[in-house]
Structure 1
Amino acid sequence: MSSIYRILCLSHDPAITVEAEYDRPETAAAAITAGVDGHARCDLLIGRYSYPLIEVGCPPTTGPQRIGQHRCYPHSAPEWVDVAWLRILAAVHQSGTERMRALARESRLGCWSWERLRRLRDELSIDLSELAGQSGEAP
């Protein structure tokens, strides 16, 4: 089954998908680099869909066109993570120990802050109310 790629705008809470669809991840990343109408200063990611969402990519953060727009560490190629790992990481942020959260922050998953994961909650099918009241960071 082939995938389609859509741009996710995390400047909205919860995140929204931009209307355009792309057949290649490179095309979606190029669209972000070129600028997406109505999202000039937004935090944008790439979603890979085979319905449902199966993977999320953080576009390159280097280069003058992305300065001030990325919300993670500098990288020159897209950083892709399977949705299952993002769900696990969200659970760590919600109900893990402080040590677990510190390890998550120090990992190669530097693109995936709690704020980004929280805004992706609908796309990731995460019900924050299930985790509310547990130890960890507040929803």
Structure 2
Amino acid sequence: MSSIYRILCVSHDPALDYGEYNTPEEAETAIREGDSSHRQCDLLIGRYSYPLIEVGCPPNTGPQRSGRHRCFTHSLTEWVDVVWLRLLAAAHQADTEQMRALAGERRLAHWSPERLRRLRDELGIDLPEPTDQPGELP
């Protein structure tokens, strides 16, 4: 089964998806070249074989966007399976020190609790609005 790729804008709550691309490279190019309506937004790439099966954090190349998530620099799209994102969202919600420590690992910096909350519709999960922080992305 072939996949399509859509851009996910997580500067919106909930995240918006737009565009349709045949390859992840086409989606990366679209992000790098910029879309006038999302030029300053935090953008990800969704891989759909309906439903969404993977989410990618695109490389830190192209023009700077003020809304870009502050993750470590990478030159390739970092992909993660939707099931893992659902598990990570659950870990962020857990009220134990051990789970919060695991969810806060630097390697998971792409997937902050707020980013995951904004992806909730795409991930098919329900996450509450945080009570200790505003809805803005860090």
Q: Decide: shared fold, TM above 0.5.
A: yes
Q: Is the 8 A contact 1:58 1:79 kept in 2?
A: yes
Secondary structure in structure 1 of the residue aligned to 2:28: helix
Q: Which region of structure 1 is more displaced relative to structure 2, 120-129 or 77-86? A: 120-129
Distance 1:124 1:96 in 2: 21
Q: Kindly, what percent of the aligned residue pairs are identical?
A: 63
Distance 1:51 1:81 in 2: 16
Gaps of 5+ in 1: none
What's the TM-score once normalised by structure 1's chain length? 0.85
Asked if 1:17 corresponds to 2:14, the answer is no
Amino acid of the structure 1 residue aligned with 2:49: S
Q: Give the count of matched residue pairs.
A: 131
Partner residue in 2 for 1:70: 68
Distance 1:78 1:29 in 2: 8
Partner residue in 1 for 2:135: none
Give the CA deviation at 1:103.
2.0
Q: Which runs of 4+ in 1 moved over 4 A?
A: none
Q: How does 1:39-118 map to 2 (within 5 A)?
A: 39-61=38-60, 63=61, 65-66=63-64, 68-71=66-69, 72-118=71-117
Amino acid of the structure 2 residue aligned with 1:84: V
Looking at secondary structure, tell me which structure has more helix per residue. 1
Gaps of 5+ in 2: 133-138
Partner residue in 2 for 1:36: 35
